[in-house]
Amino acid sequence: MEIFASPVSQIDRQSTQPVAIGPDVIVGAEAVVLMAGPCSVESYEQTRAVAEAIHRVGGRVLRGGAFKPRTSPDSFSGLGLEGLKILRAVADEFGLLVITEALGVEYIPLVAEYADVIQIGSRNMQHFPLLWAVGETDKPVLLKRGFMATIEEWLMAAEHIARRGNEQIILCERGIRGFDPSTRNVLDTTAIALIKQLSAYPVIGDPSHATGRADLVIPAARACVAAGADGLLVEFHPHPLEALSDAEQALPLDALPQLVDEVGRIAAAMRRRLT
């Protein structure tokens, strides 16, 4: 299937190829799909509280990290297999789907056993053996943009997955590195709009990593949807200040209805709806 016409300057407007991540959850269709949850799975109680809150507002997808790539080796790196089991248990209790990251080729069978969507993180966007390996699975793949990657490099990374037979690919704009330390990264909403023209892959936004600040997450989420994003990946925590990773950008659970309301209004203006 011809998904991407290179070079980027030669725009060949594409129609989005929807990706079904569950029996009735489709990314790239009329609905804007919210994927929410903690940066890291820290305990059963923490993850269950988030899953319950997501279920309460009609959310369908639980995100959470069981294996966490951290800049410092002294930082919390996740619960591993225990974290995967917790994600699956609480997701099943509330009828949610699970998205979580695979750090390397050796993690794929384990992650695929517990998750509905395999996430490839920003640091691994050009980890080609990992891309080839997920390309040989039958699981949907969320491919985050590298924090210093061009749009063409990002789309070519997706092609490494597709050429191995798996075209269930969702792209995720999570911000690129800039020069101003006021925010963690620079949210590239123009990339979201351009991807909708260049590629048939659905694209979602990650306002949490893009801003690195909880007070900017909801405005950035609105901007993603206004630019045409097919979904959002947002971090929530029952007690953000106590989070073991990404505490500065985690939203409290009581902000979830506000995000759903405000983003839902933008989605409606775009003749879409938030789920």
Amino acid at 198: L
Identify whether the C-beta of residue 203 lies closer than 8 Å to the C-beta of residue 171.
Answer: yes
pLDDT band at residue 14 using 50, 70 and 90 as cut-offs? low
Q: Which of 215, 237, 242 is nearest to 48 (CA)?
A: 237
Residue 249: partners with Cβ closer than 8 Å, 6 or more residues away: 39, 184, 208, 209, 211, 212, 213, 214, 217, 235
104-139: pLDDT as tens digits: 999 999 999 999 999 999 999 999 999 999 999 999
Q: Quote the crossing angle between the two packed helices 256-269 and 214-226, to the nearest 10°.
A: 20
Cα atoms found within 13 Å of the Cα of residue 138, Cβ hemisphere only: 2
In the chain the domains, ranked by start, together with CATH numbers, are 36-274 (3.20.20.70)
pTM to 2 decimal places? 0.93
- What is the spatial distance between Cα 182 and Cα 179, in angstroms, rounded to a whole number? 9
| Percentage with pLDDT > 90 across the chain | 89
Amino acid at 63: R
